[in-house]
Homo-oligomer: A and B are copies of this chain.
Amino acid sequence: MKVVDVAKPGAYHHGDLRDALIDATTALAREGGPDAVVLREAARRVGVSAAAAYHHFANRDQLNQAVKQRALAILTGRMQSALAEDEQVRVRHRNRQRIGAADVARHRLRTLGLAYLSFAFDEPGLFRLAFGPRGSWPTRESASPHDHNAGPFLILGQVLDELVAACVLPPERRPGLEYIAWAEVHGVAALCLDGPLAQLDLVARRQIIDRALGSIIRGL
């Protein structure tokens, strides 16, 4: 197995330029959203000629698409680690109080929603890129193999399954519920970032979020 030596200074061959370009472009998107995704600037940041990028991407759109997937992977990671953190807290306190499976499942759903929203607010540039008009939504086939197909969609689905198992959610209402739950949370994020809710102060926003999450859980 070849060891990839990253950024060996002065090296003619970069080592892993493709990944480096995706990294740099992700940073651009982070700072300036979809409009900041500029192939030349990414190459500049990596310290490479713009033409070099064309050995790794057919065109700008392919680079853009790769960054879009990266953004989604970051979102997925945040959702997963939020659940994991939740789990740790629960394990640590398990002797002090016994919590029912129903409450646990409900809490996990809420955690997922909060993770989604905090991604949107912490990383508005990446969020806008991921859910913006440019480029297509990655299909299951085009998704990165490292994800094990575990996009936001699947994580949400698992937690909804837990709700069914905990008898919180009637099984007949389970199918397709991902869409509804996702839409509600996504709508809050979108309206807060670029819509009529953009001017809300943090307190008001917090209220809306609590209310929306409550509404989803109650709506089960």
Contacts and interface: CB of A to CB of B under 8 A. Distances in A.
Interface of A: 33-35, 128, 131-134, 136-137, 139, 151-153, 176, 179-180, 182-188, 190-191, 193-199, 207-208, 211-212, 215, 218-219
A187 to B, nearest CB: 3
A199 B132 contact: no
Given A128-B133, A219-B215, A219-B218, A195 B186 contact: yes
Copies of this subunit: 2
Contact of A176 (B151, B198, B207): B207
Contacts of A198: 136-137
B194 A183 contact: no
B179 A137 contact: no
Contacts of A195: 131, 137, 186
Given A180-B211, A183-B184, A194 B33 contact: no
B179 A183 contact: no
A194 B130 CA distance: 9
B176 A182 contact: no
A126 to B, nearest CB: 12
A200 to B, nearest CB: 9
A199 to B, nearest CB: 7
Contact of A191 (B134, B182, B193): B182
A109 to B, nearest CB: 15
A188 B187 contact: yes
Closest 9 CB pairs of A and B: A187-B187, A183-B187, A186-B187, A183-B188, A184-B184, A219-B219, A179-B208, A133-B194, A128-B133
Contacts of A137: 194-196, 198-199
Given A187-B185, A208-B179, A193 B133 contact: yes
